[in-house]
Amino acid sequence: MPPINTTELKQWVYSFGQADPTRRDLLGGKGAELAQMTSLGLPVPPGFTITTEAFRDYYDSGRWLPEGLWTQVREAMQALEEQTGRRFGDPDNPLLVSVRSGAAISMPGMMDTVLNLGINRSVADGLAENTGNRRFALDVHRRFIQMFGDVVLGVDPSILNAIISEEERRRGVSHAGDLGPQELRQLISTLRSAISEAVGTAVPDDPYQQLEQAIRAVFNSWDSRRAIAYRELNGISHDLGTAVSVVSMVYGNMDSSSCSGVLFTRNPSTGEDALFGEYLVNAQGEDVVAGTATPKALSEMGDEMPVVYEELARTAKDLERHYSDVQEVEFTVEQERLYILQTRSGKRSARAAIKTAVDLANEGLITRDEALLRVEPEQMYQLLLPTFDEGDKELATTDGRLMSIGLGAAPGAATGKLVLDADTATELAGRGVEVILARTETSAEDVHGMAASSGVLTSKGGATSHAAVVARGLGKPCVTGAEGIEVNVDEGWVRAHNLVVRAGEDISIDGATGEIFARAITTVMPPAVLDDEMATLLGWADERRTLGVWANADGPVDAAAAVGFGAEGIGLCRTEHMFFDPARLAVVQTLILSAHKSTQSPENDIHRARYEGALAELEELQTADFEGIFREMGGRPVVVRLLDPPLHEFLPRYEDLATDIAERRAGGEDSAALAEKETLLATVAEMREANPMLGLRGCRVGILYPEIYAMQVKAIVRAARNVETEGVVAHPEIMVPLVSHANELAILRGTIEESIRDTAGTGTEYQIGVMIETPRAALTAGEIAESAEFFSFGTNDLTQTAFAFSRDDAEGKYLAQYVERDILSADPFQTLDLEGVGSLVRIACEAGRQARPGLALGICGEHGGDPASIAFFHEVGLDYVSCSPYRVPVARLAAAQAALRANAT
Amino acid sequence: MPPINTTELKQWVYSFGQADPTRRDLLGGKGAELAQMTSLGLPVPPGFTITTEAFRDYYDSGRWLPEGLWTQVREAMQALEEQTGRRFGDPDNPLLVSVRSGAAISMPGMMDTVLNLGINRSVADGLAENTGNRRFALDVHRRFIQMFGDVVLGVDPSILNAIISEEERRRGVSHAGDLGPQELRQLISTLRSAISEAVGTAVPDDPYQQLEQAIRAVFNSWDSRRAIAYRELNGISHDLGTAVSVVSMVYGNMDSSSCSGVLFTRNPSTGEDALFGEYLVNAQGEDVVAGTATPKALSEMGDEMPVVYEELARTAKDLERHYSDVQEVEFTVEQERLYILQTRSGKRSARAAIKTAVDLANEGLITRDEALLRVEPEQMYQLLLPTFDEGDKELATTDGRLMSIGLGAAPGAATGKLVLDADTATELAGRGVEVILARTETSAEDVHGMAASSGVLTSKGGATSHAAVVARGLGKPCVTGAEGIEVNVDEGWVRAHNLVVRAGEDISIDGATGEIFARAITTVMPPAVLDDEMATLLGWADERRTLGVWANADGPVDAAAAVGFGAEGIGLCRTEHMFFDPARLAVVQTLILSAHKSTQSPENDIHRARYEGALAELEELQTADFEGIFREMGGRPVVVRLLDPPLHEFLPRYEDLATDIAERRAGGEDSAALAEKETLLATVAEMREANPMLGLRGCRVGILYPEIYAMQVKAIVRAARNVETEGVVAHPEIMVPLVSHANELAILRGTIEESIRDTAGTGTEYQIGVMIETPRAALTAGEIAESAEFFSFGTNDLTQTAFAFSRDDAEGKYLAQYVERDILSADPFQTLDLEGVGSLVRIACEAGRQARPGLALGICGEHGGDPASIAFFHEVGLDYVSCSPYRVPVARLAAAQAALRANAT
């Protein structure tokens, strides 16, 4: 048992001037900040803080105030009386206080505060006489009664609000502050009765009783249901507890030389270095926030109260300088005297975040490293997307043109003509029409249409559905899972309730918010390149990061964007995306059907001839593709992945064919075309797979049909030699997908080297590497490294196989619920699962480098553009991440932050 | 340069009596064995061996015989002359020899041998006079010329065979030995001319020239194409080389008191302890093997040559005793004098292997541990399968009823009436008809029909196709991938060329050989229980093994078989197999559709009511199922796996439904039934998955639809309590499938524990465990172990996900080629991939046991019945393997062998 003396000796209460501002743990955030501002000599209303230790003692003892606390509070109040020259509860010259909560970690709006405490009828009368302003005094009294009833006594606030509204309505005023003194007095009395009636307890008149109850109420609010939920959501310990700050009141509502306001030391939207804010004359702070009256722009204050404004501007800059960051400051002016009530880092838009970080560093307020840590990497991405003009969007909403809100799957705003199939999308886009492609869901066959569209909308699927993933890769705005929308492809319309948009009519989607509008909305385009501040910040990032940043790009347009955003190479060029081009699909289908047939009946020369013809045709096309990419990339490395998806993905779908045939047959058709379709159906049936993700794809295709890989390698080598004649030194690297056994790679390395020799002669060497995307490849990486100059982690497939989660199925069926129910902390297709998939990456890195010391290591799954995952990739020592072009700026910044944070620890 | 003296001093040649029989490396297998038999005092013809060192010197020097070799050979020949009393090349009393190859590791039939060497015309004449048998002497000469021409001079043997056949034809005899002396002399002359003409070299007359050339020829045969191929196939080093043994000839073809023969010291088919073999009077050994004359059964020799027979029998037993194993002995009798030419371990049938191992141990010739190592575990399985009566099968083949040969996917022979769908199979089988189910391929919906059939035939799929795997699990003979067969389900027949079998007609399949016959074949059934020898041997195995052997069993019949074969528990009871019962499928479909609908529209009471109704109905059915299993298993543990497969597997197939609807609609149908089908189609479309293997299945179903798992747990608990009233103490353990994150298991553990409490009250505890079948589960096993009392490795799914191999797709599409091309050393679905999947198992075992020291570890994938995999499971320290009931004996023996081998190292 601890000796009572120890408790008695403990200091529970610190005045602002006396407290150590670094003790956030003891004083809470607000207490520490008030102490800090006081120590800086800023005009802070005096007050004191009751510590979090007192809170813990209160809780541990079963809600008894700690021994000695009350004595210390009384002493602190006396000190406050001396400082302010006012007396608590003295009608002649009354001191009022606010009682404020404040934990060490900010929980905005979660806990309680009581203002204007210390008032009662006689004090109110005194205050009226003292200030010569009866309306003011009664307004303060009314505010106190209302707040104390709500916060301390727990009266349902709607009861009190209803009384006030009724009075306002009856008296024909819009705000209770505008009531006459008699009416206000009447209202106060009505509120007191209502409170007594509701909870059986009156608002005490004795100021110290008010104070004690308010302190208890703030302590107790730590355990309110919403505070507990907030802490659980944010992973804040329930043991921290809250401090309580008691602050002497200052009155922005005293008269027309008083006001309350909020300011940002720089523009929170643009980052411009100019004070930005608003204020309300003759009002308390809560009125500014509540939005019941319209505040004035801060700039007007320079005219209205030039002296105070100047002091405010100076103080704001002092604060910014002290905290080395843009501040959001709450202030009150009481009869032309300025008080600062609160300051904190100002929330800001992505643009402002970047600009102020750069500006602050250039002004010497922070270092460049600090600037790098001030911007969320994701904010780089937000600046590269079109957005809707806010005004036009509001108008559309008011006009009832908002159809539905789906899942914001790939940010950016887009407006265009509605199309419902990929071919029409490609055709119209080719004629310069901006189109939005709407589908129930998308598949590989829709990709060319998606690439041609300005945006994509699906009624099914989630944030990692095919549509979402492809759209993000393409940098296209996308809304998925818009269940409120019916998509009718056959009849050519989408509908939500009574709003119907027909094919060819305007539709707009916001891929950030998920909104869908049945009309065109004006979009605001961001610059197509990095602006000055972004370029500056990313230049600093490049000096710090050790992780390379490459991009995934499948064609020259992507490649150009990648270079524009600073990519150092292409980490993943998916050759199959070239195959999906509708102009080529027929050749690709011939290739696949004849390849399949010619292995089934090798004696049949017709199949073989068709196969070789298709190979030759595709070799020409792919050579031209690669030339385009190499030109854009200059001397930068380009990792080309050989054909990966299951071949039958390029063929018509079995069920579509079967249904079509059944219909025609039932309709009595008996044509040669139908017979041909039936033959095709038989082949499709032979090739189709139970689980295509785990089927005949990737290197397995290369092993069964070596001619296809050989053709692709030849196209790569020929393209490299062709651009050489233009003075471009191409650096292709050849990557084999879906390897699970070292022998697969060893065989294909032979195929690839032979094709290189056949095309370029001996002496030409290319880096040959492997995608590590099966668990077995990761576990046997040492052996695989013997045939590979580089590894690139395919974390999408690695996640699928490690979890046995089919991405296509998981999203719609169970993944959302898993994240919602906290079974998984995040969608593992967005943020790398460090425990499972991460440990495979780690195992493979170690074994691979041990087997081949110079082995290059990269990652080309979508996690390459995710900041949290990038931190991990930095930690395991990858050489580079590769992500979609539009995420390159994100990755550059995230890589720099990872390096800085790793060095800091 | 080594001093010449060293070479000269080296001993290249050892006589049989002088050589050390343990130096197989130096003497080769044959040389060591002849030395061994000589040292045992057995009647071996004298001779000597030229060492493998001589061979290596010969090769290293560019094919010069080593210095000193020839001198030593000459000396050895002289010694041989002294020993035999005959002289090499001396017509008066000629010594002939055989020159035989023999490497340290046996390469049967791969290298050359020359018999009767040392003969020429005058020696032949002398031999004729000396033996008084001209025909014999000329026969020996003819044999020598022919063999020397072929083996030493490299004449195409077909040339010489043609000459002999022509002569036989002309003279009207069936064997050259039956020609008259004149005719034989003529034939010899013709053969010599043909040889000279073919290769430009004559057969030398000088015996020592013959000898030198023969020695070189044997050395050179080491590098024949077939020998190289054989060594590569069997992993034998090319550097070993061969020794050469020169053995004095003895003549089984001297007269009617001479013979040649082969015997087994015990019956190689039954294992009976009685000499078994055959012999041919007046013939050389090659005649017995060639099958040109019909040999007599060895038993007749007892009457014909009683004295020699007795000596032979005694010698045979001596050899068996010496080698502690059944011997296969080659012998020759020359004028009633016995010679042993060769002995080796006798090849034997599975039955003989088991019986002789047990008998030898009981006789004290070997220890019980040795007996355990003498039997291949797979041989235990072979004894438990029906086989075709060989005679009847031959007759059927001769009659042209062999339709085709597919893949022997699950051994055993079966005959029955052809059926082409599962329901008919079940119906006919229910009426006691034996049926063979033929399908193009099978799916989950066919399982009940497969279980009812005597055998399964598919025209598609390989050794790990659904049909193959399920059939092996069911212990049903199965032939898959019978591409020569066309299966027409609609018209009800199977066809190969002109052979058609219609539904209801007899068909027979041999699941070991893959043969398919278009008629009934008599089958020979093995005893349904372990015979005495198996039981004895497995009893010994049980004393040695530390690994438990459990069985996978889904119902009472399987459970009874498992117990009969000695399973100590059920390691995997797949509850869904009960769901596929056609009598229940309607209830299961209602369950699934209403479960899906009721989560989609939770406000709709009708779906909820249907869901609850179906749950209640299934709970009753499953309770009865479990009672049956618990009764059979007595007090043994039963691991019940909760529902695992994707729910849509229980619904009609999307494409079947869609095609049916399309046909009816095109046909003008517009009925309520069709509308209902369309509704069903919509639901099936919602539920169907791109990759079902990685979709909504396993514990994910349990998390989304906890009522289903709760129902199953209640059924388990109720069944356990019900059988308790009959005096059976059931020990169910509850297993959660497809976990990839510890949180999944933690949540389901809650569901399960609650259901147990609800049903059995508090205080009842069941073991709750998890199937480790995703890589992530293995990698995070430590955390998972916190909620699991046991792990059971699902190595089938673990193999699928580690490799990203869909079992359903891999087999038909690429796996066979992978194994054939040696990309994979074995089918990883049959023999565990130790490097990849094995390392996941190892990681999980270590982490799991570290987190929970008493954690029980088992494996229930098909690898649990594979001997090579069992050795690994022993090594990593699992507690038990669980395999199909019919493989339990295999596993018991394999586990014992693993323990013995591990102790030996």
Q: Does B842 touch chain A (CB under 8 A)?
A: no
B228-243 average pLDDT score = 81
In this prediction, residue A4 carries a pLDDT of 45
A69-82 average pLDDT score = 96
**Considering CB atoms only, which of B654, B689, B740 is closest to A804?**
B740
CA nearest neighbour of A705 among A578, A608, A625, A788: A608
Query: For the segment B522-580, what is each residue's pLDDT rounded down to a tens digit?
Result: 987 565 578 899 999 999 999 999 999 999 999 998 899 999 999 999 999 998 877 87
Q: Which of A536-540, A639-643, B427-431, B876-880 has the lowest mean pLDDT?
A: B427-431
* ipTM score: 0.80
Mutation to test the A interface, candidates B779, B806, B814, most A Cβ within 10 Å: B779
Share of chain B above pLDDT 90, in %: 62
Distance (Å, rounded) from C-alpha B293 to C-alpha A882? 77
Contacts of A707 (CB under 8 A, 6+ apart): A595, A611, A612, A615
Query: For the segment A410-443, what is each residue's pLDDT rounded down to a tens digit?
Result: 778 999 999 999 888 987 886 778 999 999 988 7
Q: Which of A240-249, B229-238, B634-643, B663-672 has the lowest mean pLDDT?
A: B229-238
CB B488 within 8 A of CB B422: no
For residue B259, what are its two tokens? 């013979």
Residues of chain A contacting residue B813, judged by C-beta atoms under 8 Å apart: 689, 695-696, 700, 704
Q: What are phi and psi of B485, to 5 degrees?
A: -110, 135
How many CB atoms neighbour CB A239 within 10 A? 8
Across chain B, mean pLDDT equals 90
For residue A758, what are its two tokens? 């056949």
User: How is A724-754 classified by DSSP, letter by letter?
Assistant: HTTT---EEEEEE-S--SHHHHHHHHHHHHH
A710-737 average pLDDT score = 95
Chain A: give the shortest CA distance to residue B761, in Å: 28
Helix, strand, coil % over all residues of chain A, rounded to 5? 50, 15, 30
Indicate if B259 belongs to the active site: no
* pLDDT band, residue A233 (cuts 50/70/90): low
In this prediction, residue B669 carries a pLDDT of 86
For residue B507, what are its two tokens? 């068909």
Q: Please identify which of the residues B141, B448, B466, B577 carries the catalytic annotation.
A: B466
Across chain A, mean pLDDT equals 90
Query: For the segment B816-848, what is each residue's pLDDT rounded down to a tens digit?
Result: 788 878 899 888 998 999 999 999 999 999 999
* pLDDT band, residue B464 (cuts 50/70/90): low
CB B578 within 8 A of CB B622: yes
Q: Please identify which of the residues A860, A863, A874, A883 carries the catalytic annotation.
A: A860
Share of chain A above pLDDT 90, in %: 63
Among A401-410, B339-348, B366-375, top mean pLDDT goes to B366-375
Please say if the pLDDT value at position B131 is more than 80: yes
Please say if the pLDDT value at position A8 is more than 60: no
**If you search the block for the tokens 């290197």, which residue do you land on?**
A699
Query: For the segment A730-781, what is each residue's pLDDT rounded down to a tens digit?
Result: 999 999 999 999 999 999 999 999 999 999 876 677 999 999 999 999 999 9
Q: Are strands A499-502 and A493-496 parallel, antiparallel or unpaired?
A: antiparallel
In this prediction, residue B550 carries a pLDDT of 98
Query: For the segment A318-349, what is each residue's pLDDT rounded down to a tens digit?
Result: 999 999 999 989 999 999 999 999 888 887 77
Q: Which residue of B has its CA nearest to A843?
A: B779
Please say if the pLDDT value at position B625 is more than 50: yes
Q: Which residue of A has its CA nearest to B441?
A: A686
Q: What are phi and psi of A94, to 5 degrees?
A: -75, 140
B22-33 average pLDDT score = 92
Query: For the segment A125-141, what is each residue's pLDDT rounded down to a tens digit?
Result: 999 998 888 989 999 99
Q: In what helix (H) or strand (E) does residue A641 lie, and over which residues does it extend? A: strand A637-641
For residue B72, what are its two tokens? 């030593």
Please say if the pLDDT value at position B34 is more than 60: yes
Query: For the segment B706-748, what is each residue's pLDDT rounded down to a tens digit?
Result: 999 999 999 999 999 999 999 999 999 999 999 999 999 999 9
Chain A: give the shortest CA distance to residue B845, in Å: 16
Please report, as a single letter, which amino acid is at residue A473. G
In this prediction, residue A872 carries a pLDDT of 97
- The structure's pTM equals 0.81
Query: For the segment A237-246, what is each residue's pLDDT rounded down to a tens digit?
Result: 888 899 999 9
Please say if the pLDDT value at position A596 is more than 90: no
Q: Are strands A113-117 and A97-103 parallel, antiparallel or unpaired?
A: antiparallel
A482-488 average pLDDT score = 89
Please list, residue by residue across B830-868, b when 16 or more beta carbons sit within 10 angstroms of its beta carbon and e when fewer do.
bbbbbbbbbbbbbbbbebbbeebeebbbbbbbbbbbbbe
B475-493 average pLDDT score = 87
Please say if the pLDDT value at position A618 is more than 50: yes
Q: Are strands A13-15 and A47-50 parallel, antiparallel or unpaired?
A: antiparallel
How many CB atoms neighbour CB B434 within 10 A? 16
* pLDDT band, residue B433 (cuts 50/70/90): confident
Q: Which residue of A has its CA nearest to B440?
A: A686
A446-475 average pLDDT score = 77
A94 burial (CB, 10 Å; 0-12 / 13-18 / 19+) is buried
Mutation to test the B interface, candidates A459, A601, A779, most B Cβ within 10 Å: A779
Q: Residues 628 to 687 of B: which have CB under 8 A from any A CB?
A: 654-655, 658-660, 662-667
Please say if the pLDDT value at position A525 is more than 70: no
In this prediction, residue B525 carries a pLDDT of 57
In this prediction, residue B1 carries a pLDDT of 36
Q: Which of A179-193, B96-110, B876-890 has the lowest mean pLDDT?
A: B96-110
Q: What is the CA radius of gyration of chain B?
A: 34
Please say if the pLDDT value at position B309 is more than 60: yes
Q: Which residue of A has its CA nearest to B806?
A: A694
In this prediction, residue A682 carries a pLDDT of 84
Question: Which residues does residue A768 pair with via DSSP β-bridges, in sequence order?
Answer: A734
Question: Which has the higher per-residue pLDDT, B466 or B141?
Answer: B141
Distance (Å, rounded) from C-alpha A391 to C-alpha A41? 43
Compute CA distances A444 → A422, A462, A626, A641, B879, whole Å: 10, 16, 21, 17, 47
Residues of chain A contacting residue B748, judged by C-beta atoms under 8 Å apart: none
Q: What are phi and psi of B458, to 5 degrees?
A: -130, 150
B617-638 average pLDDT score = 95
In this prediction, residue A875 carries a pLDDT of 96
* pLDDT band, residue B516 (cuts 50/70/90): very high
**Considering CB atoms only, which of B804, B813, B840 is closest to A797?**
B804
Angle at A439 between CA A438 and CA A444, to 5 degrees: 115
- Contact check, Cβ <8 Å, A801/B775: yes
For residue B18, what are its two tokens? 């002088």
Chain B: give the shortest CA distance to residue A651, in Å: 16
* pLDDT band, residue B475 (cuts 50/70/90): low
Query: For the segment B403-423, what is each residue's pLDDT rounded down to a tens digit?
Result: 999 888 777 899 999 999 988
